[in-house]
Structure 1
Amino acid sequence: MKSNYFFKGILHVLIFIFLTVVTQIGGILYVIPFLLISNKVSKYKLKRRLFFIILYVTTSFLIVPKVAPLFGRVKIENSKNLEAHNFLTKLFNRNYVTPKMQEVLTNISLKINKESPSLKVVYLDANFPFFDGFPLLPHLSHNDGKKIDISFIYQTEKGINTNAKPSNSGYGIFVVPKKNEINQTNICKKKGFWQYDFTKYFTLGNFNSELKISEKATKNLIIQILKEDAISKIFIEPHLKNRLNLSNSKIRFHGCGAVRHDDHIHFQIK
């Protein structure tokens, strides 16, 4: 009997940690139903779960956006030009940035849409709503509202640019280097950085395997990013920087301690 309580306690701790790591606020909200609903109440397990779901959704979509500005963050404003690739990004509160970053994203998306009205800037992970220094794992630096990942622009087999992406998460489907290009993944893994390509396990499914990167449109997207004075760094893989003939000093290699960046663009502001 005591062992059952022990393992249940461990399970609840693990759930608390998982929800905190993935959503920032989920762990704290997970505890509240246990404090308010006694285990002596009929169907208390079901009631706790339903209470948690309602509490989490209400807090994430109604309360957090109102409180985040007190911490210098705003929820990214989706528009016809700018949107999250995956609903989970919004559900898990990974779509918060500083007001300046919101301004930069809006400017970039308007430029892209003006040139190609059918295209949108599609973002992936940004930052959590609260507290500088709180890590948005598995990212190393998304902890101050000033960083964001956005997707490449892809094209169909017929060469038509599209807003669709090759993976459901936006990560893990790589634009692999050609034989004559720098293979940074091999270099890093030979040095012992085993995690360098581990995002291949986090695609959440791949239903658009026929899509290929639109090199012209993606290069233009990066150029539009670089035109924003607030930009401090852009991370993409070295072979893509060379392939797209990009030479700006703000485009840098992120180091082997991170993960490969030939499935998305990371940029940050000053």
Structure 2
Amino acid sequence: MIEAHSMLYKIANRNYVTPALNQALQEISQNLDQKHHGIKVVYLDANFPFIKGFPLFPHLSHNDGKKVDLSFIYSNKDKQLVNLKPSNSGYGVFEEPLKQEYNQIEVCKNQGFWQYDYAQYLTLGKKEQELTFSIQGNRTLLQTILQQISVKKVFIEPHLKTRMKLQHHKLRFHGCRAVRHDDHIHFQL
């Protein structure tokens, strides 16, 4: 099953995708449900329903119906996968690098890219649940996305790629001009 993290994304017309991306999302959802029954693919921002090239603030590239942001998968205090998310917007609650992991966030901020962790101000409030980033749940979700032939690029932070032991030519770093991708997954056709 696929669902919006918040009705806000539907009301604000931030949920439009091309038929090809919709098909990919359906297949990803079905595959995820087979591996983790009941866990939903939760989307955040997609695109506006206007002409190709219309910008979707604050995103740099969500302008053609071929891009979507998905929420990570979390587990509760009992280590069970849940459909709950740590922020009201789905953005801004970061999965920080561990001490032994490469810290791309620090590198980008030290290079003067002040906007890199700006999403921390876009949470619309944090929820009180004890949620933990699920390495296995997110690894499964990302592997399912990467298996889609139509998917061309997937963006997450380098430390999460390492933590989940993922290697794939479609899995990339998005650059310092964008915002952090350790609070969501971005993929595009």
TM-score, normalised to structure 2, is 0.98
Question: For residue 258 of structure 1, what is the aligned residue in structure 2?
Answer: 178
Question: For residue 89 of structure 2, what is the aligned residue in structure 1?
Answer: 169
Relative contact order: is structure 1 or structure 2 higher (C-alpha 8 Å, sep ≥ 6)?
A: 2
Question: For residue 11 of structure 1, what is the aligned residue in structure 2?
Answer: none
Work out the CA distance in 2 between the residues paired with 1:216 and 1:115. 11
Work out the CA distance in 2 between the residues paired with 1:157 and 1:181. 24
Tell me the C-alpha RMSD between the 2 structures.
0.7
Q: Deviations over 1:102-144 (max 9, x none)?
A: 0000000011112222110000000000111111011100000
- Say which structure is richer in helix: 1
Shift of 1:208: 3.5
- Identify which of 176, 186, 199 aligns with 2:119: 199
| % identical aligned pairs | 56
Question: For residue 152 of structure 1, what is the aligned residue in structure 2?
Answer: 72
Structural mapping, 1:173-192, within 5 Å: 173-192=93-112
Question: For residue 157 of structure 2, what is the aligned residue in structure 1?
Answer: 237
Structural mapping, 1:48-67, within 5 Å: none
Shift of 1:201: 0.4
Question: For residue 247 of structure 1, what is the aligned residue in structure 2?
Answer: 167
Contact 1:155–1:211, Cα closer than 8 Å, also in 2: yes
Question: For residue 48 of structure 2, what is the aligned residue in structure 1?
Answer: 128
Shift of 1:151: 0.6
Contact 1:165–1:208, Cα closer than 8 Å, also in 2: no
Mark the runs of 5 or more structure 2 residues left unpaired by the alignment: none
Shift of 1:209: 4.8
Larger Rg: 1
Runs (4 or more) in structure 1 with deviation over 2 Å come to none
Work out the CA distance in 1 between the residues paired with 2:127 and 2:92. 13
Q: Which one-letter code corresponds to 1:267 in the other structure?
A: F
Work out the CA distance in 2 between the residues paired with 1:236 and 1:133. 23
Work out the CA distance in 1 between the residues paired with 2:128 and 2:172. 29
Question: For residue 224 of structure 1, what is the aligned residue in structure 2?
Answer: 144
- Identify which of 9, 19, 28 aligns with 1:99: 19
TM-score, normalised to structure 1, is 0.69
- Identify which of 28, 49, 52 aligns with 1:108: 28
Contact 1:165–1:211, Cα closer than 8 Å, also in 2: yes
What secondary structure sits across from 1:111 in the alignment? helix
Work out the CA distance in 1 between the residues paired with 2:169 and 2:128. 33
Mark the runs of 5 or more structure 1 residues left unpaired by the alignment: 1-80
